[in-house]
Amino acid sequence: MSVTVSPIRRGWRLIQPLFLVLALFFIALLLRSQWGELSRHTWRIAPGWLALSGLLMLGGWCVEVWLWRFALARLGGELAYADALRIWFASILVRYIPGNVWQPLGMTVLARQRGVRVEAIVGSIALYQAVNLLSVLPIAGVYLLTVGDFGLLQPWLGGATDWLVALAGLGIALFLLRPGWLIGLLNWALTKAGRPALNATLSTRHLLALLLVAVLAWLCWGGSFAAITFGLTAYTANEMVLALPHLLAAFPIAYAVGYLSFITPSGLAVREGVLYLLLAPLLGGGPTTVAALAIRLWQVILEVVVAGGVGLWARKTDIG
């Protein structure tokens, strides 16, 4: 039986590698544009800051796994935390394939092997992603209203700060007041895909708990980015205090924009570009460029190491 692939989907598959090449080309251009500053700068790698960055990144992953497992439980699926951790890291590396769908697909296959309904798995991943993205809105809102601005885009967007913050607050308020909308959207998508709807409910209390946990995860990731930034360049204590809120907020904002771009694996170049736009006026173009690329490289290294360690642990446990 042959499967017909639509022309749009076939075309998208053909142009995805082009986006990856363009992303790498953009990064090369960014490095070239900052080469003078980069060559004059005194660089270092402080092991203590690097270790702290790694620990915060691990903490962010552990919180994210808890968040996904909680969402799964709300939709009628049950997984032990250890099993959820294994599934998360067993599928984490494939997300660098263009399309942003391969990690969810891997998680679905692995969780299904443990007896969880496909609808609950797919719904929980979608709910996790929705909450994860929604939780960036209060972070961005608080940042813009207190210590932040739009960086290089401030001349164009600065006048709309209050309106944008109000829209973000309205979006969060609507979902908190009508949390069932998220379940309704999930069931609509499942029905369109020919799958049975989920018999689940989501209260305001549950959604608020999910959002707060997601904010905690983002603070871990922002802290990891701040730590590696401080580890690459010598800053005074006062400079670090002033830069910290910008770094904590810039990373989740950039990550969300990169994820929503869908055009490059894991938002490659899009995330780095947003970090540059937000932080270059504060840190300088060279340090911002290196920090944005360093957190990407450090994340990939730790993902490979942790995924390998979890795989060996799972194999040893299964054998035992």
Give the tens place of pLDDT for each residue, 291-312: 998 999 899 889 888 888 887 7
Please say whether the beta carbons of 198 and 76 come within 8 A.
Answer: yes
Is 10 inside any structural domain?
no
DSSP one-letter string for 275-315: HHHHHHHHH-HHHHHHHHHHHHHHHHHHHHHHHHHHHHHHH
Is 32 inside any structural domain?
no
Is 291 inside any structural domain?
yes
Burial of 307 (0-12, 13-18, 19+ CB in 10 A): middle
Of residues 40 and 268, more confidence is placed in 268
pLDDT at 251: 98
**pLDDT grade for 67, boundaries at 50, 70 and 90:** very high
State how many domains the chain has.
1
Is 18 inside any structural domain?
no
When mean pLDDT is compared over 126-130, 159-163, 182-186, 215-219, the highest value belongs to 215-219
Query: What is the extent of the structural domain holding 227?
Result: 45-319
Please say whether the beta carbons of 95 and 266 come within 8 A.
Answer: yes
pLDDT at 304: 84
Please say whether the beta carbons of 134 and 211 come within 8 A.
Answer: yes
Structure tokens at 243: 């830069």
269 alpha-carbon distance from chain centroid: 14
Is 27 inside any structural domain?
no
Is 306 inside any structural domain?
yes
pLDDT at 12: 47
